[in-house]
Amino acid sequence: MRTILALLLLTSVAYADKPAELEKALARNRSLLVIRKADLEAANKAAVIAFGPANAKMFSVGYRKAGSAEKPSHYVASVRLSPAEVLRFNEAFKELLTGNKIARYEKGRQAKLVELELTANGTAP
C-alpha cells in the first residue's frame, strides 16, 4: 500500500512539473539575431533594456559577406529566449523590428549564416 501511495505521489509531482519542464525546453531554443553595422549601437542599447547591463555588447561578433576582405557588414548575437524574454525583446527592439533593421531567425545558427552568405570577421570595435 505504501508503495502505491509513493508511486501516486511521485506521479502527481512529475505531472505538476510539466509546465516548468516546458518553460525550460522553450528557454533552450536559440534565436539568431542579425543586424547591419549601422544599427550596432542601437541594437546594443536595446539589448541592455531587454536583458540588462551585462548585455551592453551583445552584438559583438562581426560578419561579412563570404569571400569579402572588407570590414564586418553585419553583427550577430545568438540568444535563448523564453516566452517572458520574447516579450521584453519585442518591446525593447520595437523600433529596430518595425524598421526591419534586425532579423530574428529560429533556424540552426550555422545553417542560417551559410544561407545569408556571412562569414566570421572578428569582434566589434
pLDDT at 9: 44
CATH 3.40.190 fits 29-123, yes or no: no
Reported as a single tens digit per residue, the pLDDT across 52-71 is 999 999 998 888 877 777 88
pLDDT at 53: 94
C-beta atoms surrounding 93 within 10 Å:
21
pLDDT at 81: 80
Reported as a single tens digit per residue, the pLDDT across 9-20 is 444 444 444 455
The low-confidence residues of the chain, meaning pLDDT below 50, are: 5-18, 26-27, 124-125
Q: What's the rounded Cα separation, in Å, for the pair 46 and 119? A: 24
